[in-house]
Amino acid sequence: MSIGMGSASGGDRRQLGWRDGERIGAGALGCRLGWGLARRWARLWRCGVACVGLGWGLGIGCVAQEARLNLFIWSEYIEPGVLRDFERRYGCRVVVEYYEDDAAMMAKLRGGGAGLYDVVVPPDHRVPAMIQLKLLAPLRHGRLPNLANLDARFRDPAYDRGNRYTVAYQWGTVGLFVRRVEGQALPDSWGAAFDPARQVTPFVLMDSPRDLIGCALRYLGHPLNSVDARHLRDARDLLWAAKPRALGFEGSVGGKNKVLGGLARAAIVYSGEAVRGMADDPQTAYVIPREGSIIWQDTLAILAQAPQRDLAEQFLNFVLEPEIGARISNFTQFASPNRAARPYLRPGDLANPAIYPPAEVLKRLEPLADLVGHARLYDEVWTHVKSK
């Protein structure tokens, strides 16, 4: 079915002097010191205080080193103004690094990047493995009073009982972003990509292993999270056959942009990208195929080696504020898990079935699950499809 249309919305920091998440002052912490005290103050450099000379060596000014939050997140996934407001409130700097798929995120963290970031945004099905690998720090709920703002169904998820390691961030679906053609019905099946007789050309495949393999499994009538080797061989062969007919593989944002730019007529994307794409071009639509698809949930988590754990928890609690949560969803066009944010969400978004699917569509959706030791089977399928 074709569902929904939506609209998209698109500091200098003056507060200095923060240390370990606690305020120790605002503005420049200036002082005038004689030469006899200069050596003593210089030792403060090792404690996080930078000292600079003020004219002819007659004195020095001291400024507390600015705290830095390192965020590892999907591209186009948070409103920039939210980050600036967090910087102003907590007197810190937010440094953002982006990834386009969860496999790249995992590879970076397991390859030594776990100590580079404070906050990461893993999808639900990755969380159990990240916990098992000891990549995530347990959350101190006493520092997260805004956890109470989450809708009840997001407060005790199967992938992280009791929210011990994660809090829900955004949720959505996987479907087809399609350009309308006058006189032609919109496709209603994954056959738009997987069946040569019904394919919509040119089309783009999603560069995300679990999502794309899951779509292929559903098209074939197999369980979305099947670990049956025969089912996975079927999915492998289906994707292998579709690959030469496609424009290639793209992340969700890239697929959306190819449709908007006229390079492709269809792309497999996440719902938020499709909704923003429809706002840019009303001749496009979002379709959840009749065979069923994926409903997913992304989370916020703190890495076990986070350099700024206290600041990271302040960031999670900040994002869970009702107005902040609404600003994020109004920007991303994904669904918010924050019950308290609903009064601040755009009414049109709340009524948009591309963002909040109706009950009859939800029945056809299934979440990705932890593969419980069978990840190798999916890795083999993906390696075959991408490398051959």
217 Cα distance to chain centroid? 24
Domain ranges of the chain: 18-64, 173-295+368-387
Find, among 325, 323, 306, 326, the residue nearest to 139 by Cα. 306
Prediction pTM value: 0.81
For 173-295+368-387, which CATH class?
alpha beta
- Is residue 173 within 8 Å of 363, Cβ to Cβ? no
Average pLDDT along the chain, 388 residues, taken 10 residues at a time: 41 30 34 36 38 38 72 95 98 96 92 94 96 97 98 94 97 98 95 96 96 98 97 98 97 96 98 96 98 98 97 98 98 97 97 96 95 92 91
What phi and psi, each to the nearest 5 degrees, are found at residue 290?
Answer: -65, -25
Phi first, then psi: give them for residue 33, nearest 5 degrees.
-130, 145
Confidence (pLDDT) at 57: 39
Q: Distance between CA 317 and CA 102 in Å, rounded?
A: 24
pLDDT at 47: 37
Cis check for the bond before 202: say yes or no (omega within 30 of 0).
yes
pLDDT of residue 190: 98
Q: C-alpha angle 292/295/299, rounded to 5°?
A: 165
pLDDT value of position 64: 53
| Rounded Cα distance, 80 and 95, in Å | 12
